[in-house]
Structure 1
Amino acid sequence: MTAHWDADLLNRKDDAKFLYNFLIGQIDKRKAQGRVASYVMNVDADWGGGKTFFLEGLAADLESQGHIVARINAWRDDHAQDPYVAIMAAIDKAFEPFVQKPGPISKAWGAVKSSGGPIAVKFAGAIGKALLKKHTGVAIEDFREMISEGGESDGDLTTAIAEGTMVAEGEIEKLFDTSLEALIDGFQRTDRAMSDFREKLAASIAAVSTKRPAPLFILVDELDRCRPTFAVQLLERVKHLFDVEGVVFVFATNSDQLQHSIAGAYGANFNGFRYLKRFFNRTYVFAEPPLETLVQKLCADLPQEKLRAPDDKLTEAISLGFKAFGFGSDLRAVEQIIEMIDATVTAWPHKVPAEISLVFPLCAQFYLSGKAVWPHPDLPALKQWILPNITHDRHSNRSRDFSIYYNRIYAEAYSIFNSMQKIVEYGNKERDDSSARYVNSIFDREWNGVPVPRSAPSVQVDLLGLVVNAGRMANASSSSAT
């Protein structure tokens, strides 16, 4: 395993190791069975679930094993008219070190590109012909004749391109509906060039395997973020053109988002789930992230001397806060909110520590809404922010509640922190409730034995402005990372 995994917070290294062994085993099994030794794996995780980090680590591991790895970012490349070009460009880049000198590998790969060029041109022309048939009445037989002949002149190709580009972009987008499958299936059966392309691609992979171990891995990220029509086209190209000996595709997607995006583009009655299943041999779902471990690692660098928590259980308070606010499996949200907490507390100028029961809700709410306001104590997420700890006393035969009610602490502190007068009055009352006693301890150092204007607020009020600035910093960091 490579150094990339030193930053692994979700145990994705074990996922990568398992999938590598599984995919190699599947390729070997298919060879033994006399089947085409190719495979398409889909890795499914929510947005923020670490898919890109996983693919980067998997790529590093594969390269350390000697495999050639081609990388595709579908979101970045969806400006292309046809994803076939993006796939070929990624493979071409991966093959570059092996084709710089004349030899069997460069010759084989040159043959692939020579046979692949006409396919791209023919398909562009085919789209134009089909749309001309739809909108001008030109016979589809012209299209069939074009794709069935392997040696058309440059003039024919130029005409095909011209006719394809004459049709409006909007009409091209409309073509990719359920009828596309029938069109491509027919294209596959009748066009010898597609078969020739696959044979030559397999030959080039066999040639390069004399230098590097097979299979060739093609990793595809961000398919769920690109245009739905581009996503469909890319999957269709993989199925019909790249089902080749020695090729393994690994997609990383938010499958739920992808299927709904495709269904939304093609109509309410379009079954996106069933459609996607056609393209993937298997789908691998990441396990629920170990939130406590992740938070513990991320909190290790927080300035602990500037931050306090009930019973000094900082990691527990933050972990439970993420669960209460619904961030349990969203790695991106967890990282960015802890970055906000870190920036806020690092900039905290007071000798009195900042209180996590106030800092966390502010950061979480700012992340969710982008609004610089204190969350209302009745917020449902706050009501669920509790560390349960109920014990049974055998002598009295009664239950004793030692739970930490962060929600109560927040609500009580929220109700008094704008006025030192209220804080003093609150602190002078005898209280049996552990939450109330803790609230008193938050503010005690500000007024007990210290002359302070009774109309002044607590220094904890300053957290709001600091969180706003920290949130802007986190947002800028997130934007640049994307």
Structure 2
Amino acid sequence: MSENSLKKCVPIEIPDNNPFQNDVLNRKDNIETLTTFITSFEQSIVLCIDGGWGQGKTTFIKMWEKYLHQQSIPTIYFNAWESDYTDDALIALIGEISLSIENLSGENKKNGNGFLNTLKNTSIYLVKDASAKDWLAIGSAMGSFFTNGRIKADKIVDFTNNLGACLAKKQIEKYEKSKQILNEFKKNLSKLAECHSPSNEMKPLIIFIDELDRCRPNFAIEVLEKAKHLFNVDNIIFVLATDKSQLAHSIRAVYGQGLDVNGYLRRFIDFDYLLPIPNKNKFINTLLEKLSLNDIVDVIFYSGVTIRVFIWDFIYLYQLTLREIEAFCNILNIVARSHNRFRTNELILVFFFIIIKIKVPDIYKTYNNLDSEDNDNIIIFINNVLENIDSNYTLVDKNRLNFFEYLGCLLLSIFSSDSVEILTSTITDYLKKFNLNEEKIKIIHNCLRKSKTEEIGISTLQEIKKAIEISTNFSF
């Protein structure tokens, strides 16, 4: 493969025989602990793996699933978001169990298929029922009210008197029937789980439900209800992977903003597990290596410090999720292969504006719409960026150069004169906002003076913008 060949970030490989081979986020300890926890219960439980968008929940549970297979614990994976086009969550759940059942182990598999067929038959009586047959009967009866276009008043009276009693009787009979069917459904479900447990061992069937927070609100709620009420049987454990804060928005969209969401979810979720925050530096280092970008980010910037550290600090400042870090690396990869002549200071701005594109798209759009001769608006754009840096600024590192102060100075220097005195005055005013000591200010000034050989102007901003915008023609 040539030096400029493009690569892309792909989901990590999770080998069957070694699920943690590519575990750069150190999830192994978490998974082993959770396995011990869930297998200590004899009853059915619902465990929620709570993590924000893009924090690696899907990779976590797929890695966990492979680990459980090594322990001979049967599992089923159900992507709720891919199934919310259906009208009934129970149909989707039973369908996924049916599709996955052939991949499960267990010596009593033949009996398991028998229980599955019984399960399908009984589930027919538990799915949503709009009582279409009742209304067809009512519609047919109403047809007898008319003869030659005239209404038969006596038939309407008789029909009205009996309608309430008939419907009430039907509903009572339907309730009694559904209760019997529900008991039969749970009994067969529990036996189905037993069939796929290793012989002489009683290990639960683990059903993973992923992407619940991305579903339609009604469908997400229905999945929760079905999991808790219909699947609440021995030998079955549910693991939900979801962002509970986003799930809360879905629930409030259905039941109103005043709902106590935590109280509501406690009806369905027995235990919460907050997915630990990963080491993002290690994660991005792995991606940079996979994409062969190390040579670009390991350029020495100042006193032995590489510009890779800028990336680490940008990610920290703007709290990029794992998914957003992947997007950052994909865009940087395209920029690096299509514009490989950026100098050190220019690369710093490339890194920064990619992150602005990902995290603050409203500001980035104003950058993308700027004309090369529109100096006034470019100044407004730079000021907006500086304000955004200030509003996010939380990083404190007394042992080395403050990179964000340097970034701010770099942006301001675009509009400064070639005179070092004027440049110094402009930047000093900016640095006062950070209350930096004289030593830090001196370091930044020296670094900027050194960088004057790589002078950055408005034309450079336009070139960086053009390079980044090439990436918009690609989907990741």
TM range (shorter): 0.7 to 0.9
- Taking a change above 3 Å as real, the CA distance of residues 224 and 446 of structure 1, as seen in their structure-2 partners, is closer
Whole-angstrom distance in 1 between the partners of 2:309 and 2:25: 18
Counterparts of 1:59-208 in structure 2, within 5 Å, are: 59-97=65-103, 103-120=110-127, 123-125=128-130, 139-149=167-177, 191-208=179-196
The 3-state SS of whatever aligns with 1:5 is coil
Matched-pair contact (CA < 8 Å) for 2:301–2:344: no
Give % identity: 21
One-letter identity of the residue aligned with 2:32: K
**Which residue matches 2:57?**
51
Residue 438 of structure 1, aligned match among 437, 447, 462: 447
Partner secondary structure for residue 378 of structure 1: helix
Partner Cα distance (2:336, 2:230) in 1? 54
| C-alpha separation in 2, matches of 1:368 and 1:351 | 23
Match status 1:361 vs 2:352: yes
SS at match of 1:283: strand
Contact 1:308 1:354 in 2 (8 A): no
SS of residue matched to 1:289? coil
Amino acid at match of 2:39: I
What is the CA-CA distance between 1:210 and the residue it aligns to? 5.0
**Which residue does the alignment assign to 1:316?**
309
Taking the aligned partners of 2:395 and 2:307, their CA distance within structure 1 comes to 12
Match of 1:24 among 25, 34, 39: 39
CA distance in 2, matches of 1:56, 1:442: 47
How far did 1:39 drift? 1.8
Query: What is the TM-score with the length of structure 1 in the denominator?
Result: 0.72
| Stretch moving more, 75-84 or 266-275 | 266-275
Structure 1 residues 430 and 79: alpha-carbon distance in aligned structure 2, compared to 1, 3 A threshold = closer
Taking the aligned partners of 1:194 and 1:272, their CA distance within structure 2 comes to 28
Q: Would the aligned equivalents of 2:331 and 2:354 in 1 still touch at CA under 8 Å?
A: yes
Shift in CA distance, 143/326, structure 1 to aligned 2, threshold 3 Å: same
Aligned partners of 1:361 and 1:382: how far apart in 2?
A: 14
* SS of aligned partner of 2:39: helix
Cα distance in 1 between the residues matched to 2:352 and 2:68: 42
In the alignment, which residue of structure 1 is the partner of 2:402? 405
Q: 1:4 deviation in Å?
A: 4.4
Structure 1, residues 255-310: CA drift from partner, whole Å, max 9, x if none? 11111221122112222221111111101001222233333333444243475544
Q: What one-letter code is carried by the residue in structure 2 that aligns with 1:464?
A: K
Q: Would the aligned equivalents of 1:109 and 1:204 in 2 still touch at CA under 8 Å? A: yes
Contact 2:74 2:196 in 1 (8 A): no
Distance in 1, Cα, partners of 2:202 & 2:314: 47
* Aligned partner of 2:257 among 268, 288, 298: 268
Report what 1:334 is aligned to. Answer: 325
Matched, 1:304 2:304: no
Partner of 1:173: none
Partner of residue 465, structure 2: 464
Structure 1 distance, partners of 2:256, 2:397, is 50
SS in 2 for 1:89: helix
Q: Structure 2 CA distance, aligned partners of 1:280 and 1:103?
A: 33
> Contact 1:67/1:215 (CA < 8 Å) preserved in 2?
yes
Secondary structure (helix, strand or coil) at the match of 1:218 reads: strand
SS at match of 1:379: helix
Aligned residues: 397
Give 2:388's aligned amino acid.
P
Rounded Cα–Cα distance in structure 2 between residues aligned with 1:464 and 1:357: 13
Q: Deviation per CA, 1:40-83: give whole Å up to 9, x if none.
A: 11100011111111121112222232232211111111111110
Q: Which amino acid aligns with 1:343?
A: I
- When structure 1 is superposed on structure 2, of 252-261 and 344-353 the one drifting more is 344-353
What is the CA–CA distance in structure 2 between the aligned matches of 1:462 and 1:102, rounded to whole Å? 63
The one-letter amino acid of 1:433's match is: K
Shift of 1:231: 1.2
Q: Is the 8 A contact 1:221 1:252 kept in 2?
A: yes
2:268 is the counterpart of 1:279:
yes
* Matched position secondary structure for 1:119: coil
Per-residue deviation, 1:316: 2.9
**Structure-2 residue corresponding to 1:253:** 242
**CA, structure 1 residues 140+442, in 2 after alignment: closer, same or farther (shift >3 Å)?**
farther
Question: Equivalent residue of 2:319, what SS?
Answer: coil
Q: Aligned-pair distance for 1:107?
A: 2.4
Q: 3-state DSSP class of the match of 2:124? A: helix
Aligned equivalents of 2:92, 2:473: Cα separation in 1: 35
CA distance in 2, matches of 1:40, 1:280: 5
Distance (Å, rounded) in 2 between the aligned partners of 1:206 and 1:318: 51
Give the letter aligned to residue 45 of structure 2: Y
State whether residues 443 and 458 of structure 1, in contact with CA within 8 Å, keep that contact through their aligned partners in structure 2: no
Paired residue secondary structure (2:48): strand
CA positional deviation for 1:362: 0.5
The whole-number CA distance in structure 2 between the counterparts of 1:430 and 1:115 is 79
Listed as ranges, the gaps of 5+ residues in structure 1 are 31-36, 150-186, 391-401, 448-455, 478-482
Pair 1:462–1:97, CA change in 2 (3 A): closer
Deviation track 1:395-414 (CA, whole Å, cap 9, x = no partner) reads xxxxxxx6423333223332
TM-score by length of 2: 0.73
CA distance in 1, matches of 2:350, 2:275: 31
Give me the whole-angstrom Cα distance separating, in 1, the residues matched to 2:295 and 2:348. 14
* CA distance 1:283–1:326, change in 2 (3 Å): same
| In structure 2, C-alpha distance between the alignment counterparts of 1:350 and 1:225, rounded to whole Å | 41
Query: Contact 2:79–2:211 at 8 Å: present in 1 too?
Result: yes
RMSD: 3.5
Higher relative contact order (CA 8 A, sep 6+): 2
Deviation at 1:102, TM superposition (A): 8.9
Cα distance between partner residues in 1 of 2:412 and 2:288: 28
Q: Secondary structure in 1 aligned to 2:233?
A: coil
CA distance in 1 between partners of 2:219 and 2:29 (Å): 32
Tell me the distance in 2 between the aligned counterparts of 1:336 and 1:434.
33
